[in-house]
Amino acid sequence: MNVLLVLGHPRTNSFCGALADAYCEGAREADVDVRELTVADLEFDLDVRVESPENQPLEPDLQAAERDLEWADHLVFVYPNWWGTMPARLKGFFDRLFRPGFAFSFYEDGEGAGKEELLDDKTAELIVTMDVPPRIYRWLLRQPGNHALKRATLGYAGVRTTRVTNLGPIESSDLEEREGWLEDVRELGRSLETGPESRLGRTKRAATSWLKALRLQFYPMAWIAYTIGALAAVGSGAFSTGAYWLGLGFLFFLEAATVLSNEYADYETDRRNTFAGPFTGGSRVLVDGELSFGQVRAGIAVFLAATAAFGGATLLAGAGSTAATAGTMGTLAALALGYTLSPLKLAYRTLGELDVAVTHSVGVLVLGFVVLGGAWHDPLPWLLGLPFLLSVLPSITLAGVPDVDADRLAGKRTVAARFGVDGAAAVAATTAVLAALTGALWQLLDLVPGYGPAIYLGLVHAAAIVWLLRNRLDPDAGAQRIDLLMMASLSYITWFGVVPLVGLL
């Protein structure tokens, strides 16, 4: 491993200099190749004096620094925290060197526009001295300098920061404290023997990537529908807690396997997507290299095995017909996995939106109903599920708008990809209004239990969605970020989930 240590203190005889020496000693004991770069010794203009930094020629010292950065696998920055951030000379070093063409680049081609991170093969760590107690800097001041360098500078170029070490307060420290810090930093250098990241750091990063991949924020919708079905089945009778939780476990693991299979199958469209946001474009763990294809395949297999195990346990513990429960589970699994996987690949046949709406409303609602003893042919779960189904369609249809260009290039035939942004808007508006009208009708006629007067507020929410579609969506713009519309349409589902759920409790 090649390690470049950058000393950012403008005085080389500072305590930061001693820390840099200690780190290099430890790193050499770990048998890694180390180079030192002292910013104070470089001769260069700190200021960018042209419109863009790539148009300002690099001085010889910066040219040598650039070659060192290219050589390095791991970057170590040692500097003092002044006024909450780095010294001006180190900031000038980044201003001049981390420029387009070296640290990052912008592109525009047949796949759309985007940014490429050119230093994404490197890791980094920060060793920062300060006069404020590190806890105050971290928890009260919120580490502005650390975040700026870690995320806005290094992160923008693709460099992943594996460790940040804050040391202080320096001014009031005694010799014993400083000797202790020197030994701590020397040990950080030695730790490179096992890589630039600690075992705990690797574990936390892996756990974070898996949680990101699972997209847990979308699971409550299925849980609510399942619970409505379960409560509707038992009415005022006995509630089989064991069967309920086993069935919920089946749903959780099926959802996890489905989300990962979508991530796997949709890699091409996610890779091409330049409008990915919190609601669309997948979790991007494959696109960003946080997880490998092999890891995602293994995750799918594990979650499918857990789905089968919980499904079998639910059949044994369920209060309803074993055949009806097994049939509902099998249908749900086929539809859920068939969203992107062969042979169904419903998302590629303009049936994906309907598939998601059915599986996350009527499908799981009927499952809860039959697991707790209801009959699948009873009209109650289907009537309860209809407005829920209609309320899901606006959000899942609009989710195709930011992805529309990438989906077309990847051959994914969503409603937006097939009928255009205006077609997706028409479907979203129509189904939002139908959901509100159906829910209001159910309450007005007292057709199903659980629907109270609060459901009429869904009419107001539907009107707001229609207004946003007319005023915040450009039908001629193609792919576009629509975060406000997505929040409005996703929250719309609440009326048709929470209102009947509370009414049945």
In 251-294, DSSP assigns E strands to none
- pLDDT band of residue 132 (cuts 50, 70, 90) is very high
**Non-local CB neighbours of 336 within 8 Å, separated by 6+ positions:** 254, 255, 257, 258, 355, 359
Q: What is the pLDDT of residue 240?
A: 83
Q: What is the pLDDT of residues 207-251, one digit of tens each?
A: 999 999 999 988 999 999 999 999 999 886 668 899 999 999 999
Is it the case that residue 433 has pLDDT exceeding 80?
yes
| Chain segment 156-194, per-residue pLDDT in tens | 999 999 999 999 999 999 999 999 999 999 999 999 999
Q: Give the architecture-level CATH label for domain 209-504.
A: Orthogonal Bundle (1.10)
Q: Reply yes or no on whether the pLDDT at 400 is more than 70.
A: yes
pLDDT at 198 over 90: no
Q: What is the pLDDT of residue 109?
A: 47
Task: Kindly indicate the confidence band of residue 113, based on its pLDDT and cuts at 50, 70 and 90.
Answer: low
Provide the residue ranges of all domains of the chain, joining segments of one domain with +.
2-197, 209-504
Residues 6 or more apart whose Cβ sits within 8 Å of residue 123: 73, 74, 75, 159, 160, 161, 162, 196, 197
What pLDDT score was predicted for residue 277? 73
The pLDDT tens digits for 115-127 are 788 999 999 999 9
- How many Å apart are CA 455 and CA 443, to the nearest integer? 8
199 confidence band (pLDDT: 50, 70, 90): confident
- Evaluate if residue 318 carries a pLDDT over 90: no
Task: Give percent of the chain above pLDDT 90.
Answer: 84
Taking the CA atoms of residue 228, residue 233, residue 236 and residue 237 in that order, the dihedral angle to the nearest 10 degrees is -130
* 10 Cβ contact partners less than 8 Å away, ≥ 6 residues apart: 39, 40, 87, 89
Tokens 């750091």 belong to residue:
201
CATH dotted code for 2-197:
3.40.50.360
- Is 235 strand, coil or helix? coil
pLDDT averaged over the chain?
Answer: 93
Instruction: Return d(Cα 368, Cα 374) in angstroms, integer.
Output: 9
pLDDT at position 112 is: 47
Tens digits of per-residue pLDDT, 96-109? 999 999 999 986 54
Q: Is the pTM of this model over 0.85?
A: no
pLDDT grade for 395, boundaries at 50, 70 and 90: very high
At how many degrees (to 10) do helices 364-371 and 220-234 cross?
40
Q: pLDDT at residue 111 above 60?
A: no
Which pLDDT score is estimated for 110? Answer: 43
